[in-house]
Amino acid sequence: MTQASVMGVPHGAPVDKDKRNWIVATCAMGGAGVAAVAVPFVSTFQPSERAKATGAAVEVDISALKPGEKMTVEWRGKPVWIVKRTPEQLAGLPKNDPLLADPKSERKLPDWTPAYARNENRSIKADTLVVVGICPHLGCSPSDKFQPGAQPSLPDDWAGGFLCPCHGSTFDLAGRVYKNKPSPDNLEVPPHMYLSDAKLLIGEDKKA
């Protein structure tokens, strides 16, 4: 059987090149369409390593974290801060309440602040803060400003916390936003739980 007869053109008849090219292109597109449909179908059963990594919970060893220090880990492509607060920093948190926009973290419940973090410290353990390091305003990452006192872009009575360099939102050491700032919310507390005194699991809180 000749190529012409395969395409539905009688044997020996002149071949319309434009028609032939259109048929070939249509067949090729059809094949590509099948492939395009097949890839997502297969990927639902075989997610990439990157997809598994970005969606999975992250285990963190915090045994070396000292009071006054912060470490950053990545979870779902976002920076998560773990801050070991000093007794002095914890003692100063209640004094901030009158200055804060949402001191009790009542906005955007329940996901933004899980029930176990709806306290003055916004944490499971009083001294350890776990928050997503992204300003809710436009997605910038705030800077550490743990040192109290007057500093550029901060009030003279600054008690320590975080400053967003993009638009000036300020947060205390519990990740709570101060009044009259661009950020509409406190910093997000991700789901998390303790596997032991020295290990945190970010992204899962079934036992919390």
CATH label of the domain that carries residue 184: 2.102.10.10
* pLDDT tens figures, 34-78: 333 333 322 333 334 554 455 789 999 999 999 999 999 999 999
Residue 95 and residue 176 in contact, taking contact as beta carbons nearer than 8 Å = no
In a domain, 193, yes or no: yes
Mean model confidence pLDDT for the chain: 80
Residue 75 sits in the same domain as residue 95: yes
In a domain, 5, yes or no: no
The residue among 42, 15, 172, 164 whose CA lies nearest residue 101 is 172
In a domain, 10, yes or no: no
In a domain, 9, yes or no: no
Residue 96 sits in the same domain as residue 172: yes
* pLDDT tens figures, 172-189: 999 999 999 999 999 999
Residue 98 sits in the same domain as residue 149: yes
Residue 39 sits in the same domain as residue 103: no
Tokens describing residue 61? 């060893």
Burial bucket for residue 180 (CB in 10 Å: 0-12, 13-18, 19+): exposed
Residue 69 and residue 84 in contact, taking contact as beta carbons nearer than 8 Å = yes
Residue 69 sits in the same domain as residue 39: no
Residue 38 sits in the same domain as residue 56: no
In a domain, 78, yes or no: yes
Per DSSP, the three-state class of 80 is strand
Residue 102 sits in the same domain as residue 182: yes
Residue 38 sits in the same domain as residue 136: no
Helix/strand/coil percentages in the chain, nearest 5? 25, 20, 50
Q: Provide the pLDDT for residue 156.
A: 94
Expressed in angstroms, the distance from the first to the final Cα of the chain is 72
Q: How many domains does the chain have?
A: 2
Residue 141 sits in the same domain as residue 182: yes
In a domain, 3, yes or no: no
Residue 103 sits in the same domain as residue 61: yes
* Residue 130: how many other CB atoms lie within 10 Å: 25
Q: Which domain holds residue 27?
A: 16-46
Whether the pLDDT of residue 5 is over 60: the answer is no
Residue 92 sits in the same domain as residue 25: no
In a domain, 99, yes or no: yes
The number of CA neighbours under 13 Å toward the Cβ of 198 is 3
Whether the pLDDT of residue 115 is over 70: the answer is yes
Residue 30 sits in the same domain as residue 110: no
pTM here is 0.73
pLDDT band at 109 (very low <50, low <70, confident <90, very high): confident
Q: Provide the pLDDT for residue 149.
A: 95
